[in-house]
Amino acid sequence: MAIKEGIRTGGRSARVQESVHAAVRALLQEQERDSLTVPLIASRAGVTPSTIYRRWGELAALLADVSLARLRPDSAPADTGTLRNDLLAWAEQYLDEMNSEPGRNMMRDFIASGCSSQCATVLRGQLQTILARAVKRGEPAPDADHLLNLIVAPVVYRILFAESAPSLEHMHELVNLSLRR
């Protein structure tokens, strides 16, 4: 059920992907997520349903793929001059995004589609960018997985399992704790 890999980018394949993604984004603005179907998306995107099934396998994987594209930021995380402040800024933005209706839906799509590890891969990449800058500045830096455990995991856990996200104050505590050695 994983999002299929290895599809060449560029050309017809890229155009199909862009128009299907755009159709999903537009439909999500107009109607309830639960009412989305593959034929509906195909019709809006001007492709056949079998094009979507062939490429994404099923609706949950397509929704997760659209979410993943949204999660990949256009730019690198902000450079504030210190690791601590870079992490605070990143953590606040992450909390903000996940603690929203689209954020909660994204997590559920990832779990339902069985391709949730791609989500951790994107986040790990962003954290590695921040950590590489810290190392360049000569700051001591933990590894990205430690930050996933201490900053990302509590946000995801509390939203999925405890129905309330950590407070901003609590995010600051977690960032501080992640930097203690």
CA angle 54, 117, 92 (to 5 degrees): 120
Residues 52-111 binding a second copy (CB under 8 A) are 108, 110-111
Output the smallest distance, CB 146 to a second copy, in A: 9
Considering the rule CB under 8 A, would residue 1 count as an interface residue with a second copy? no
Considering the rule CB under 8 A, would residue 132 count as an interface residue with a second copy? no
Residues 29, 74, 117, 169: which binds a second copy (CB under 8 A)? 117
Letters for 152-181 (x = contact with a second copy by CB under 8 A, - = none) are xxx-xxx-xxxx--x---x---x--x--x-
Chain-centroid distance of CA 60 in Å reads: 15
Q: Which is nearer to a second copy, 45 or 71 (CB)?
A: 71
Q: Which is nearer to a second copy, 85 or 149 (CB)?
A: 149
Q: Which is nearer to a second copy, 45 or 119 (CB)?
A: 119
Residues near a second copy (CB under 8 A), total: 26
> Cβ neighbours of residue 180 under 8 Å, at least 6 residues apart?
none
Q: Which is nearer to a second copy, 81 or 125 (CB)?
A: 125
Residues 30, 116, 134, 136: which binds a second copy (CB under 8 A)? 116
Binding site for a second copy (CB under 8 A): 108, 110-112, 116-117, 119-120, 148-150, 152-154, 156-158, 160-163, 166, 170, 174, 177, 180
